[in-house]
Amino acid sequence: MAMSLTKIQVIQKAAYFTHGFQGLMVFILWIVLLALKAQKGGTPSQANVLFAMCFISVPVIIYTAMAPRWPRTVKFSHPIAQTALCFVSTIIFFAGFVSLAVHNNEGISRGETDGVSSCATTIYGTPRICELSKAVIGLGVVVFFAFAVTTGMYAYTCYWLWRENLPFTAHLRPGAVAAHDVEATTQDAFSHKDDHMLDPQEDEHPHPSDVGVPPPASGVGSYALLSGTAVGQGRWQGEDDDDDADFRRDNGYRNEHNASVTSGNHPGRSTPLTGIQDPYTDRVEQPVEFPQGPYNNGYRY
C-alpha cells in the first residue's frame, strides 16, 4: 500500500508539470488566435470557441496545479473536482479544434481545381487565414491531449483512493488537511489543549534544576534558608543583636502568651513554662464604669 501511495504522489507531481505544459501551449495558442483575428477577410466563427477557452482554462490550470501545493489552499483541492474540470476542458478543446478543422477543410475542398486542394484554393477567407487556422488546429490538438492526460491522472487517483477506502487527502504531503476531510477536521475539536501542551519537551514551567536554581535546604524546606539571619530569629531591622535583646524577647513572649492558656473556669492556675499566676483570674466581676462627662451635650436624639 505504501508503494501504491508513493506511485500516486508521483502521478500528482507529473500532473503538476503537465499543467505547466498546458499553460505554455494555451499561451501560444492565444497568440496565434490573435494573429488570426487580425487578418483581413473575416475570421472563422469556429475559432471563437478556442479563443474563449484560452481564458477559461487559465483559472482551471491554476486551481488544479497550485491548490494542492499550498497549506492555505489545500482545503479547496479535491481529485474529483480536478477530474471534472480537466474532463470538461478536454471536451471543449476537442469540440473547438474539430469544428475549426471541418470549416477549414470544407473551404479547401470547395475551392479545389484540377485535383489540387490547398490553402491557396480555399473559398473561406484568404490563404493566410487558412494557414493560421491550421496552426490553431494543431495547437488545439496538443492542448486537447494534454488535458486528456491530466484527466486520466486525476481519475486514476480518485479510483485508487476510493478502492483503498482512504480520504481524498491521503495523496497530499504529510500534515495537509482539506475541508472535506470530516474525520481530520473534527478530531479533538473541543479540546482545550494547545499544540505546545501536546509536546512534553516544551514545558512552559521547567523544573528548577533545569534553569540552575539550587534545591531547598534540608529540614523545614525553603524556610530553612532564613535560619541564622535576623529575620529568621524573629528580629526586625534595626534591633540590637546582643544577648540581652534575645533574653528580653524570649521572657516577654513567655509571660505574655503562655499565661493566656489559663482559663476563667480554673482560677489561680499557673502557666506551664513560667509558673506565674494569671493576675486576671482573681478579679471580681463588676460592671464597667466610665468617667463622668457631658456626653449628651450638643446632640439631639
Q: Where are the domains of the chain?
A: 10-64+79-171
pLDDT above 50 for 43? yes
* pLDDT above 60 (res 188): no
pLDDT range class, residue 8, cuts 50, 70, 90: confident
Q: Pick the more confident residue, 184 or 126.
A: 126
Q: In angstroms, what CA-CA distances link 167 with 7, 278, 282? A: 16, 87, 92
> 21: buried, middle or exposed (CB in 10 Å: 19+, 13-18, 0-12)?
middle
**Residue 179 is which amino acid?**
A
- Highest-pLDDT range among 96-105, 159-168, 279-288: 96-105
229's grid cell? 539571619
pTM: 0.54
* CA distances for 55 relative to 21, 29, 67, 254, angstroms: 16, 11, 19, 100
Nearest to 7 by CA among 158, 171, 145, 129: 171
Q: Express each pLDDT in 197-214 by its tens digit.
A: 445 555 555 555 555 555
Does pLDDT of 285 surpass 60?
Answer: yes
Report which of residues 223 and 143 the model is more confident about: 143
Most confident of 21-30, 35-44, 228-237: 21-30
DSSP 211: G
| Average pLDDT, rounded, for the chain | 72
Q: Which CATH class is domain 10-64+79-171?
A: mainly alpha
The total of other beta-carbon atoms located within 10 Å of residue 87's CB is 17
Mean pLDDT of 125-153: 92
Question: How many beta carbons lie within 10 A of that of residue 101, not counting itself?
Answer: 18
- Higher pLDDT among residues 176 and 117, named by residue: 117
Contacts of 282 (CB under 8 A, 6+ apart): 267, 268
Question: Does 271 or 87 have the greater pLDDT score?
Answer: 87
